[in-house]
């Protein structure tokens, strides 16, 4: 772990995440993967997991992507290090991770256990309840760290939510869904689905061109007995990248 790089990345999180409080229908934003694991280097980005209000996933994704892109901190193309990776969005109907889980998906369980919530209207409690099945992998219950939550009331956010909350918002949501799903599926052509994890659905958008969960599962069971519970030291000993 590089503590100086980790400190810099968290400073960037603290600087830019408050801008996302402008986003209407945003239920939760959490840091996940390597920064949440405390395992970063000079090439690391900042992975976010985002939950939107039911029926407003594509509006939320549009706002989040636009804000971080305009601010010049969104990961895209070769611009990776120190930028925000927007590769995993769900709405309230897409929070059950069994829909994307592998058999004995120890990495997914560790990912959920270690995420750190930044914006959270309380939906993380529902996420934990829905995914309580992950608790079997740990000595204690599945919880989400809320110590860095920065959610505050925002007038502009309320105005956006009021404007887009009715029939017009529903129409815009459908237009954005149709457009974004078409673009996403076009980009999926030629992707090696043997190593990728791409989910493009009404309630889940997940874009990982390289998914190493099978590799980590094999490493885990090669090294530990099936009854051994997950903890950070054991998990990171698998050389997670």
What three-state secondary structure class fits 184?
helix
Q: Looking at residue 227, what is its pLDDT?
A: 86
Tell me, yes or no, whether 203 lies in a domain.
yes
Q: How far is CA 147 from the centre of its chain?
A: 17
Q: Looking at residue 1, what is its pLDDT?
A: 52
Could you tell me the pTM of the whole model? 0.94
Q: How far is CA 120 from the centre of its chain?
A: 13
Among the listed residues 85, 72, 119, 79, the one whose alpha carbon sits nearest the alpha carbon of residue 206: 85
Phi, psi angles (nearest 5°) of residue 114:
-100, -5
Per the model's pLDDT, the better-predicted residue between 75 and 240 turns out to be: 75
Q: Give the range of the structural domain holding residue 92, as residue numbers without chain letter.
A: 3-236
**Ranges of H-type helices in the chain:** 3-16, 34-37, 57-70, 106-114, 123-130, 155-163, 167-188, 213-223, 232-236
Among the listed residues 210, 186, 180, the one whose alpha carbon sits nearest the alpha carbon of residue 64: 180
Contact 220, 128 (CB under 8 A): no
Mean pLDDT of 128-136: 95
Of 95-104, 109-118, 218-227, the one with minimum mean pLDDT is 218-227
Tell me, yes or no, whether 229 lies in a domain.
yes
Q: With bands split at pLDDT 50, 70 and 90, how would you rate the model's confidence at 147?
A: very high
In the predicted structure, residue 240 carries a pLDDT above the cut 80: no
**CB atoms near residue 73 (< 10 Å):** 18
In the predicted structure, residue 188 carries a pLDDT above the cut 90: no
In the predicted structure, residue 41 carries a pLDDT above the cut 70: yes
Could you tell me which residues come within 8 angstroms of residue 230 by beta carbon, excluding any fewer than 6 positions away?
106, 109, 110, 113, 137, 138
Tell me, yes or no, whether 98 lies in a domain.
yes
Cα(96)–Cα(74) distance, rounded to whole angstroms?
Answer: 27
Pairing assessment for the beta strands 46-52 and 26-32 based on DSSP bridges: antiparallel
Tell me, yes or no, whether 17 lies in a domain.
yes
Cα(26)–Cα(169) distance, rounded to whole angstroms?
Answer: 14
Q: Looking at residue 20, what is its pLDDT?
A: 95
pLDDT digits (tens, 9 = 90+) for 61-101: 999 999 999 999 999 988 999 999 999 999 999 999 999 99
Contact 200, 188 (CB under 8 A): yes
Tell me, yes or no, whether 50 lies in a domain.
yes
Work out how many domains the chain is built from and give that number.
1
Per the model's pLDDT, the better-predicted residue between 241 and 220 turns out to be: 220
Among the listed residues 235, 215, 232, 213, the one whose alpha carbon sits nearest the alpha carbon of residue 224: 235
Contact 210, 195 (CB under 8 A): yes
Tell me, yes or no, whether 241 lies in a domain.
no
Mean pLDDT of 113-128: 96
Contact 53, 27 (CB under 8 A): yes
In the predicted structure, residue 152 carries a pLDDT above the cut 80: no
Tell me, yes or no, whether 202 lies in a domain.
yes
Contact 152, 21 (CB under 8 A): yes
């Amino acid at each position: 772990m590089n503590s100086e790089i980790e400190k810099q990345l968290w400073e960037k999180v603290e600087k830019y995440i408050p801008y996302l409080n402008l986003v209407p229908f945003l239920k939760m934003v959490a840091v996940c993967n390597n920064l949440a694991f405390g395992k970063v280097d000079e090439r690391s980005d900042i992975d976010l997991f985002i939950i939107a209000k039911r029926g407003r996933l594509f509006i939320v994704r549009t706002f989040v992507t636009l804000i971080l892109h305009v601010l010049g901190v969104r990961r895209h193309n070769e611009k990776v290090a120190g930028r925000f990776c927007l590769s995993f969005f769900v709405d309230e109907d897409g929070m059950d991770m069994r829909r994307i889980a592998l058999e004995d998906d120890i990495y997914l369980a560790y990912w959920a256990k270690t995420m750190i919530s930044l914006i959270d209207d309380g939906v993380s409690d529902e996420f934990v309840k829905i995914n309580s099945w992950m608790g079997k992998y740990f000595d204690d219950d599945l919880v989400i760290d809320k110590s860095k939550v920065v959610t505050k009331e925002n007038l502009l956010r309320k105005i956006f939510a009021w404007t887009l909350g009715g029939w017009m918002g529903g129409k815009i949501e459908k237009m954005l869904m149709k457009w974004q799903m078409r673009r996403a599926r076009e980009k999926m052509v030629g992707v090696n689905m043997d190593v990728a994890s791409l989910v493009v659905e009404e309630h889940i958008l997940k874009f990982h061109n390289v998914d190493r969960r099978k590799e980590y599962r094999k490493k885990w069971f090669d090294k530990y007995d099936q009854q051994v519970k997950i903890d950070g030291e054991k998990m990171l000993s698998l050389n997670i990248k």
